[in-house]
Structure 1
Amino acid sequence: MLQEGAHGKWTVSSSDESAEENSDSEKPCTSSLSDPACGRTSGPQYPCSEARKAAHKRKASPLKLTDKSLSTDAPPAVKQRPSQEGSGWCLSSSDEEPEDQKKHIHKETVKEEKCDVPEEHPLSLCKDDKLLENLKEEEYNVTPSEAQDTWDLVTGGNPFRFFLTKVSGIEQNYNSGALHIKGEQVASTRRGLLGESKRMLIFGLWVFLNAYILSPLFGTLISSAQFNYCIDVGWLVRQYPQEFRKKPLLIVHGEKRESKAELIAQARPYENISFCQAKLDIAFGTHHTKMMLLLYEEGLRVVIHTSNLIAEDWHQKTQGIWLSPLYPRLPKGASSSAGESATNFKSDLISYLAAYNSPALKEWIDLIQEHDLSETRVYLLGSTPGRYQGSDKEKWGHLRLRKLLKEHALSIPAHESWPLVGQFSSIGSMGADGSKWLCSEFQESLVAASSSVTTFRKCDVPIHLVYPTVNNVRQSLEGYPAGGSLPYSIQTAQKQLWLHSYFHKWSAEVTGRTHAIPHIKTYMRLSPDFQKIAWFLVTSANLSKAAWGALEKNGSQMMIRSYELGVLFLPSAFGLDKGYFHVGRGNLPERKDSATYFPVPYDLPPEQYGCKDQPWIWNIPYTDAPDTHGNMWVPS
C-alpha cells in the first residue's frame, strides 16, 4: 500500500499495517543457513522483531546503490515538505517493539567463530613457535601495564563498576576498560622459549583479552542464570569457556507458543540447560530484563546489562554493563538480614526474583540469601508486570525511581532548573501530547528529590531525548542494518509528531562510539552547564509506559506490562556529600579522585536535531544515499 508523509512516499506491507493487532498471535518463522565448515547452521534461530529480521535479510542480501554518482556524504533519504519541518516522530513500546511488531525467528548472517577451539593456559606449549615469534606489541596496541590497568579496573579500580561493551572497528584505546562477554585467543608460550619481557607481554595480553564477563579469571563457575529477551542458545553456550559449557544453566525468558518451542528446540543438544518462563499476563508485555547470575566456588556475582544474547548485540553496538563485586558466602547460621548493603540491594534483588513466582528461581533466591552483598553501592530499579495499589505502587517502575530519589538524592540549590537527559533505542506510545505521560507523571518521578520543591513547575525542567537520526544509522559501523535494533515503525511515528522538539542526535566521540549505534539505555539529571550529575541510571527500560508503568484510576493504581531491570547511581552511596558527580570524560573515570567523576558514555551537551534531521524509522526505504558499506535500505 502506497503512503505519503514527512518522509516522502513509501510502501508498507499488509503485515506491517496489521502488526499491532497480530503482535501476540503471529507464528514465528524460522530459517537457517548451512555452515559446512562446522556442520551446523551459521544463522542462529531465535525470536526477535520484524526490524531485526529485516536487518538480517539486508545483511544476507545487500542492495547496492544504483546511482554511482552519489557521495557517501550525501544526506539521508528524507523528502521533507516545508510544512512538515517541525514535525517529529515517536518510537514504539519496547526495545523489540511488542506493540507494533510480531515476534519472529529470523534469518541471520553472523560473523562468529567457525568451530570451537579448546582454550589453552597462557603459559602452555605453543603449537606454532613462528606465530609466537611474530606476536608484536603494536598489533594489539596495548602494553603489559595497560593490560594490568584494565584488569585493575575490572577487579575494583573502577569505583562505579560501570562498563561499556567492546566494539569491533574502533581504535583500541577506546576499548580500554571495556568488557566483552567472551575473551579472545592469544598465542601462548613455554618458559625459556622467549625472553622474560616478551613472555610477560604475552601474559599481559592474555589477561587483557580474557578479562571478559564469563572469564575463569573471575571465578570457578558452578552454575549460572541468564535473564534476557532475545536469545540464541547455541551462540550463548559458545560464549562460556570450554570448561564451563556443561555447568547448569537456567535461561529466563518470556517466549510463548511457537517461539517458546523453538527456544526449547535450540537447547536440546545441551542437557545442562533448563528454562524459566516469565509470566506475561498483560498484553504487549515483554520479558526485557537483561541480567546474569553467576555462582562460583569463590562466591556470587550479579551482572545487569543492556545486550540481548545474540552475536550482533556484542559486536558493533554501544551497550552498558554493571558488574557487581564478587560476593562471598556468609558464615553458616548467619541471620536473614546479614549481608545487606546500605542500598538495600540484596532484599530488592530477592524481591524482584520472587515476583516471577517461579520454583525455578527459588534456588537462586536461597543462594543470594546465603551471600554477603554488603559491598554493593547501587540501587536496584526494576519493573514487573501487574497492577499495583497502595504501598505496592512504589515497588516498581517510575514510582520506584521517584521513591528512591526522594529518600536518597540530596537537594542542591537551584536543583529545580537541572535538565533531564534520556537515551534509549525505542519509544512507546506517549499520547496526543506531552501532558498525557511524558511531561506529567513520568517527569514528576525524574525530578523528585529529598526535599519538596514548590518554587517551579515540572514543565519548566528541560527534557533532552537522545535517539539516532537516519544519518547516525547510515554512517554507523554496520550501516543501515544497525537500524534493526531500533524498532521504530512509521505507524507509531505518525501518531506523535509533537515529540520532535525533544529529540537530540546520538554522538559519542568522547568514547569513540559515535558510529556504534546505541542499544544502551540511560537516564540522568545534570546541571545546566552539563558538568555535574545528580543521578545516573543504566537500565533495560526504554522510554515507554509498558516499561516504566502508567497510572490508572485517577492515580490510585500503577499498571506495568514488562519486566525491566537497571541500577541507579546516587552520589550519596559513594560518599559524596555535595550531592553530585562530576561528568567524566572518556571511557573510564578520571584517575585522580575517580569516585567523583562518572563516565558518561556519550557527548554532552546533546545536540538537538536540525531541521533536516529525522529519527530512524525501520520500515520505510532509504535509497537516496549509501551507507558505510555502499548499500541502501529497502526493508521488505
Structure 2
Amino acid sequence: MSQDNQHGRWTISSSDDDDDIPPSNTATSHSPTLTDSNRNSHMPVPLASSKEARTATPPPPAPAYGVKTEPHPVQVNPAPSPLVTVSEARQAAHAGQLNPVKYESPPPPSGKRKREPDESGWALSDSDDDDGGDDVKVKGESSGSGQRGAPPGMRPPSPKAKKPKVEKNERPPSPHGRTYYIDEPDDFYETSIPCLNDTYRLYLNKVTGLDRKYNTGALHIRDILSPLFGTLKESVQFNYCFDISWMVQQYPPEFRDRPVLLVHGDKREAKAHLLQQAQPFPHVRFCQAKLDIAFGTHHTKMMLLWYEEGFRVVILTSNLIRADWYQKTQGLWMSPLFPRLPKGSASCDGESPTFFKRDLLEYLASYRAPEFSDWIQRIEEHDLSETRVYLIGSSPGRYLGSDMERWGHLRLRKLLYEHSHPIPDEENWPVVGQFSSIGSMGLDKSKWLAGEFQRTLTTIGKSSHRADPPIHLVYPSVEDVRNSLEGYPAGGSLPYSIQTAQKQLWLHSYFHRWKAEATGRSHAMPHIKTYMRASPDFSELAWFLITSANLSKAAWGALEKNSTQVMVRSYELGVLFIPAAFNMSSFPVQKNQFPATSSSAAFPVPFDLPPKHYSSTDQPWIWNIPYSQAPDTHGNIWVPS
C-alpha cells in the first residue's frame, strides 16, 4: 500500500516482522532475540549509515560500515579500513552525513488534492500504486540523489532535494549555541575523580556540545577506564556493536595492551569483519554468544574490570562505537570497587542482600562459554556484598516451570512481587517505559503489551489487587529528532520501521515526547532504556530499572503454550532499583539534577516528569521513510536510500 504524509511518501512492506515467527514445539533450545538500536531483521534494502552521528569537524577516516542483520550480514561500502558492522538505520545516518541532502524551500503548491490525514497522522495517497514489494521504496526522487528511479508519470516530491557542494566548513547557524559544532575540548575528560552520586551509582554519559554544567557528574568511557578507578589488569566487554580500534584508544596508554575479551553475537560475514578489526590488536580475544533461536541478538552491554585492587562491574546502554558516546543520552550503573575475599573464603561468601553475586554468576553460566571460567572464579573470590541493586537479565531459550522466572520480564515480575511493597492508591501510579527501538506488539494491545507485560510492570508486592494504571511510553517524535544536536542522523539509533509501525497504529496513542530539560539532554536523543513506576504527581518512584532491553517481545520474552512456557530470543542485561534495598519506602524524584552532588537521596530520572503526551500533529520517529518538509539543525533533510 502506498502512503504519504507531510514528511514524504513511502511504500510499505507486506512482509511479517520477526516477532511474529511461530514458535517451535520444543521447550529446551536456547533462543536469540531482536532488539534495540540493533535492527528490525526484515529491513528493506541496506542503507549507508553511520555508527557515528558526528556534527563536528570532519573526523579521521571512518571505518567502512556493514549492515548488521541476521542471518546474512551485508557489506555495503567496501574499503581498506576495517569494517564496523552496524544496523541499517545507522548506515542510513552515516550516508546522510557523508553526502547530506540539503533542504530547499518548497515551490508553490501544485494544487493536487490529497486525502486528509487519518488519526494516525499519516495520509493515504489517492493513487493505487501498491506494488506488493517487500522493500521500502522512496518514490519520486532522482537517481542522482541516491534514490530509486521514479515510476513513469510520477512527479518528483516537493521540496526538491539535491546534493550540496562539498564544503567542509559550511554549516548553518546552530540553534543550540556556539559550541554545538565543536569536538570534545581538551578538558572534556576528567583529570580527577568526578563528582559522583554514590547513593545510586547511576550516571549519564557526557555529551559533546552541552553546557559544561550538564556534564558535571556524567561519565565518558575514558573516565570509566581511567586509572583513577583502579589499576586495570584485564577486562571483558559485552556488547552488540564494536569499533575495536576506537575502543582500544579509550583505554589509558598504560592499560592499552592489557587482555580484553569481547563478547559478541556476530555470525558469518559480521564475525569475519569483527575478527578483521582485531588483527592489529593481539591482546583482544573473542567469545561468541550462542544464538540458537532465529533473529536473536547479543544485546547485553556490560564491562567486567579486574584490577590489582579488586573487581568492578559496569552495566550500560552504549555500544562500543564513538557515535554512542558523542551526542546521545546514555546511562550506566557502576558498581563499587569489590575487594578480594580473605584466602580460604567460600565461593558463596561476599554475597549482597540482593543476591547480585549469585545472579551475575548464573548469567555468565548461561553462555555455556569456557572463556568465562577464569572470570567466574575471580568473581567468586571477591566480596560483592555492597551491591544494592538487583540484576535482571535475558538469556535466549524456551523455559518451563520455575525456570520461567529466571529471565526477562517474568524475572522482573518475581523481584517486584518478592521485594517491593504495596502502595496506597496504586491504580493511579502510572508505569513509564522509555526506549530507543520498538518491536512488533501484535494487532492490539491485549496481545502482549497490556496483557503479560503490563501485569509485570504493575506488580507491587504480594498484593492480589491487579491495578490497571496509565502507561506512558516515552519515544522521540519526528520533531525531537529534527531539532536534536545530530539532526536527522540521530534517528539512525531509533530503528522503528514503517513495516512494524503500520501494523500497530494503536500503540501510538501511548507515546510521549522525549523531554529532558532538567538534565540538559532534550536535544541529545536517547539510546538509554528505562522503566519505572511513579506516583500520580511524579514526585516518587516505587522502583526504577535501567537496561539494554527495548520495547520488544524478543528482549523481554513472551509466553507460549497457554502460558506454560516462555520464549526469550536475546541476551539483555539491566539493574533494578527497589527502595527497600536502600532503606527507603520510595525514591524521591530529583527535579534539578545539575550541577550534580555526591550524596543526593533524590533519584536521577534522565527525562522530565510528568511525560508530555504527543499532540495531534506529533508523529513517532520512523527511520526508513523520508522527511523532506523541514530542515534539521544542519540544514539537511532525511532521504534514506
In the superposition, the TM-score normalised over structure 1's length comes to 0.79
Q: Deviations over 1:53-72 (max 9, x none)?
A: 000000111111122899xx
Give the 5 Å matches for 1:22-101.
23-31=69-77, 41=81, 45-67=83-105, 81-85=116-120
Q: What's the counterpart of residue 128 of structure 1? A: none
Q: Distance in 1 between matches of 2:236 and 2:135?
A: 30
Give the 5 Å matches for 1:119-518.
151-153=194-196, 157-182=197-222, 212-454=223-465, 457-458=466-467, 460-518=468-526
Q: Distance in 1 between matches of 2:287 and 2:191?
A: 38
Q: Is the 8 A contact 2:238 2:262 kept in 1?
A: yes
Q: Shift of residue 449 of structure 1?
A: 1.6
Measured on the aligned residues, the alpha-carbon RMSD in Å equals: 2.7
Paired residue for 2:627, among 595, 615, 622?
622
Structure 1 residues 27 and 376, CA, compared in 2 at 3 Å: closer, same or farther?
closer
Q: What's the counterpart of residue 92 of structure 1? A: none
Q: Shift of residue 10 of structure 1?
A: 2.4
Q: What's the counterpart of residue 539 of structure 1? A: 547
Q: What's the counterpart of residue 22 of structure 2? A: none
Q: Is the 8 A contact 2:239 2:264 kept in 1?
A: yes
Q: Shift of residue 45 of structure 1?
A: 2.2
In structure 1, runs of 5+ residues without a counterpart are: 35-40, 71-78, 89-98, 102-137, 183-211
Q: Is the 8 A contact 1:419 1:461 kept in 2?
A: yes
Q: Shift of residue 235 of structure 1?
A: 0.8
Q: Shift of residue 588 of structure 1?
A: 5.6
Q: Shift of residue 594 of structure 1?
A: 2.0
Paired residue for 1:580, among 560, 582, 586?
586
Q: Is the 8 A contact 2:392 2:412 kept in 1?
A: yes
Q: Distance in 1 between matches of 2:236 and 2:394?
A: 19
Q: Shift of residue 48 of structure 1?
A: 1.5
Q: Is the 8 A contact 2:355 2:390 kept in 1?
A: yes
Q: Deviations over 1:3-44 (max 9, x none)?
A: 21556752459999996289523342053667xxxxxx4xx6
Q: Distance in 2 between matches of 1:349 and 1:24?
A: 28
Q: Distance in 2 between matches of 1:331 and 1:350?
A: 19
Q: Deviations over 1:418-442 (max 9, x none)?
A: 1000000011110011100100110
Q: Is the 8 A contact 2:213 2:594 kept in 1?
A: no
Q: Is the 8 A contact 1:287 1:563 kept in 2?
A: yes
* Matched letter for residue 322 of structure 2: A
Q: Is the 8 A contact 1:163 1:179 kept in 2?
A: yes
Structure 1 residues 607 and 390, CA, compared in 2 at 3 Å: closer, same or farther?
same
Q: Distance in 2 between matches of 1:544 and 1:100?
A: 22
Structure 1 residues 80 and 339, CA, compared in 2 at 3 Å: closer, same or farther?
farther
Q: Is the 8 A contact 1:387 1:558 kept in 2?
A: yes
Q: Deviations over 1:444-475 (max 9, x none)?
A: 11111213232xx54x3100000000000000
Structure 1 residues 629 and 32, CA, compared in 2 at 3 Å: closer, same or farther?
farther
Q: Shift of residue 415 of structure 1?
A: 2.2
Structure 1 residues 260 and 447, CA, compared in 2 at 3 Å: closer, same or farther?
same
Q: Shift of residue 139 of structure 1?
A: 9.7
In the superposition, the TM-score normalised over structure 2's length comes to 0.79
How many residues align structurally? 531
Q: Is the 8 A contact 2:120 2:505 kept in 1?
A: no
Q: Is the 8 A contact 2:533 2:544 kept in 1?
A: yes
Q: Is the 8 A contact 2:243 2:320 kept in 1?
A: yes
Q: Percent identity?
A: 61
Structure 1 residues 298 and 16, CA, compared in 2 at 3 Å: closer, same or farther?
farther
Q: Deviations over 1:226-277 (max 9, x none)?
A: 0000111111111111111111100000000010011011101111111000
* Matched letter for residue 587 of structure 1: Q
* Matched letter for residue 572 of structure 1: A
In structure 2, runs of 5+ residues without a counterpart are: 18-40, 45-68, 109-113, 124-133, 137-184
3-state DSSP class of the match of 2:531? strand
Q: Is the 8 A contact 2:216 2:595 kept in 1?
A: no
Q: Distance in 2 between matches of 1:592 and 1:161?
A: 10
Q: Distance in 2 between matches of 1:453 and 1:517?
A: 39
Structure 1 residues 279 and 301, CA, compared in 2 at 3 Å: closer, same or farther?
same
Structure 1 residues 357 and 161, CA, compared in 2 at 3 Å: closer, same or farther?
same
Q: Distance in 1 between matches of 2:2 and 2:135?
A: 18
3-state DSSP class of the match of 2:340? coil
3-state DSSP class of the match of 1:441? helix
Q: Distance in 2 between matches of 1:21 and 1:318?
A: 25
Q: Distance in 1 between matches of 2:581 and 2:313?
A: 18
Q: Distance in 1 between matches of 2:599 and 2:243?
A: 41
* Matched letter for residue 475 of structure 1: N
Q: Distance in 2 between matches of 1:287 and 1:85?
A: 33
1:565 matches 2:573 = yes
3-state DSSP class of the match of 1:10? strand
Q: Shift of residue 221 of structure 1?
A: 0.8
Q: Distance in 2 between matches of 1:87 and 1:391?
A: 45
Q: Distance in 1 between matches of 2:368 and 2:362?
A: 10
Q: Deviations over 1:519-549 (max 9, x none)?
A: 0000000001111000000000001000000
Q: Distance in 1 between matches of 2:14 and 2:120?
A: 29
Q: What's the counterpart of residue 607 of structure 1? A: 612
Q: Deviations over 1:351-376 (max 9, x none)?
A: 00000000001111111111110000
Q: Shift of residue 147 of structure 1?
A: 8.1
Q: Deviations over 1:582-606 (max 9, x none)?
A: 10123369759723x1011100000
Q: Distance in 2 between matches of 1:592 and 1:239?
A: 25
3-state DSSP class of the match of 1:269? coil
3-state DSSP class of the match of 1:422? strand
1:20 matches 2:46 = no
Q: Is the 8 A contact 1:589 1:598 kept in 2?
A: no
